[in-house]
Chains A and B, each alone.
Chain A
Amino acid sequence: MSNFLKLIYNEVLKIFIKKSTWIMFALLAIILVGFAFLNNTLVEEYTKDNWKDKLHQENMELQKELDEAKEGSDDFFKEFALSEIERNNYHIEHDIMPLQNGAWSFAHDGSTILGLVSMFTIIIAAGIVANEFNHGTIKLLLIRPIQRSTILLSKYLTVLLFGLFTTIILLFLSLGIGAIFFGIEEMPQIVLEQQDGFTHVSLIKETILKYSYYFVNVIIFATLAFMISVLFRSNALAIGVSIFLLLTGGAIVQFLSDREWAKYILFANTNLKQYANGSPPFEGMTLSFSITVLAVYYLIFITLTWFSFTKRDVAGT
């Protein structure tokens, strides 16, 4: 094993030797099983034979409600109803049955708890340096014939590996649990709304894309937590600040959405999938704009982290 791989191995070992890490994965499994039970109790709405009739019926009902509401000013409902009718028509026209319970649709829904992956990765990133300071083990770690920057890199890469691993675990867990509860669908298709109307893609591809795009978010928050952990050598601060921003980042952007500069906020740019389908929160934002903003933040985080870890004294507590 090369020397650098041995360092990574050390870091991975220190993460997985702790029970708390395994609790995270157990938690993911428990939540998914809970979802599966909930889904299971819902009656299947559509069957192979009746789904077209049902969609026709839904459309008629929606149209009726629209006609009645004509004089009212409920624009939101109107928009929703029109869009639903259009979506249903698209299903019928292209002969695509609405999504059924199954491994892939369950995994697609499971992406709603991808936030937990970010959260767990934040916890690992926050601890990986700060805990060495808390335990005092940093002293014995840094007096080895290895440059500080190499040790830092091994820790950072371990965090990213953990994030990647956890993302993949969530995908496989939800696929597995979905398969056990509902079986596996054959060639499922999902209908998506885009700026210029509806389209359909393979659900498998869409699910994998969703998880992949989300990994950008995992990287950014892991890097943020890692930086705070190195700068302040405090586990709690790194976890607190990072998770707070993870939970409120979107709301902050929305709150400031009338400001021109809000599009430069980190959290307005972490969702790159908004360019594939969906719409960006600000006019004029493009994929390359977001990537540039992310790159700038990323470089600042990494530079501060590297500088602090390699240059500062490890003094007594």
Chain B
Amino acid sequence: MSTPALELLKVKKTIRNKEIIKGLDFTVNKGEVFGFIGPNGAGKTTTIRMIVGLMKLTEGDIRILGNSIKSNFKGAIEKVGAIVENPELYPYMTGWQNLKHYARMFPNITDERIKEVVSIVKMEKPIHQKVKRYSLGMRQRLGIAQAILHKPAVLILDEPTNGLDPAGIREIRQYIRKLAKEEEIAVIISSHLLSEIEQMCDRIGIIKNGELIAIQDVHESNEGEQKTNNVPILLDAHPIEKAEEIIQTTFQIEVQKREGFLSFQSEREQIPSIIQSLVQQDISIYQVATSKTTLEDKFFDLIGENTIE
């Protein structure tokens, strides 16, 4: 297997005797979009700041295409493009001047490349206006433009959909997928809005209180679970007690009552016969629904309350 685009090896960060990051360990491969989610204060931004070298690691190491950010900062960081927190650019310069400014910090970035990037993020029109006149969405686009200027192998976007309208979000989403696929870029996206990044990620890591508590393959959770034998079902029936009893005794399935519904799991093939036997015993059925456990539910199950220690 080739070198992973990004590796975090037992990364710890202690600030004023308080362990903020408690040993993060994960890799992101080339061409993969990795979602990094967690509640506010969980350590997302601290982790991102360590990946891009803004903060030093207390323990562990971070490697970008095998280059350690600690011992080979230049070699590691030249492969990284990033937005950290908000896309903060020089307000008194135009978008174009901002991009030129960052372009001068790399060896060979031509004006053609800058123009190309500007058209990728669809900023041709306002590029010669001052950044202080930009909306948050425009700044977000310009932020992405400066991050991909030097064709990085790892792209880190902190809350990239912040301030974008739905059309803008869709555009960015498509663009990020395209970057990952066609240019084999590893993309790390942080967000607290799971639903937004769920659709553009291959894998999602959930961070809570400085620990990675789960890594979830997005496609697996969507398709994989539906095929398994246990489909979660919600049933609205009357009388509810009788229905509960029938299901429990006849089908040997454990049933729970939840908000006036019966909730249980069964095999897909079994669903018609359950309904049939309920109807035969004069139970009125108002609604049968298979409930899909979304990542969102999982997220809340894992995170519990949004606590900040």
Contacts and interface: CB of A to CB of B under 8 A. Distances in A.
B23 interface: no
Contact of A6 (B82, B83, B104): B104
Contact of A144 (B75, B88, B97, B106): B106
A135 B131 CA distance: 12
A17 B85 CA distance: 26
A209 interface: no
A112 interface: no
Given A17-B93, A313-B55, A6 B49 contact: no
Interface string A142-158: 11111100000000000
27 contacts: A6-B105, A18-B92, A135-B88, A136-B88, A137-B89, A139-B84, A139-B85, A140-B89, A140-B102, A141-B105, A143-B53, A143-B54, A143-B77, A143-B80, A143-B82, A144-B77, A144-B105, A145-B78, A145-B105, A145-B106, A313-B49, A313-B54, A313-B55, A314-B54, A315-B49, A315-B54, A315-B55
Interface in B82-102: 82-86, 88-93, 97, 101-102
A142 B53 contact: yes
Interface of B: 15, 45, 49, 52-56, 73-75, 77-78, 80, 82-86, 88-93, 97, 101-102, 104-107, 146
Interface residues of A, number: 26
A90 B156 CA distance: 76
Interface in A110-161: 135-137, 139-147
A14 interface: yes
A134 to B, nearest CB: 10
A109 to B, nearest CB: 36
A222 B193 CA distance: 46
A137 B97 CA distance: 14
B84 A143 contact: yes
B100 to A, nearest CB: 9
A42 interface: no
A284 interface: no
Nearest to A131: B90
A17 B132 CA distance: 14
Contacts of B83: 140
Contacts, number: 81
A248 B246 CA distance: 93
A237 to B, nearest CB: 21
Contact of B105 (A17, A136, A137, A146): A146
B50 to A, nearest CB: 9
A47 interface: no
B73 A7 contact: no
Contacts of B97: 13, 17
Nearest to B76: A145
Nearest to A312: B56
A197 interface: no
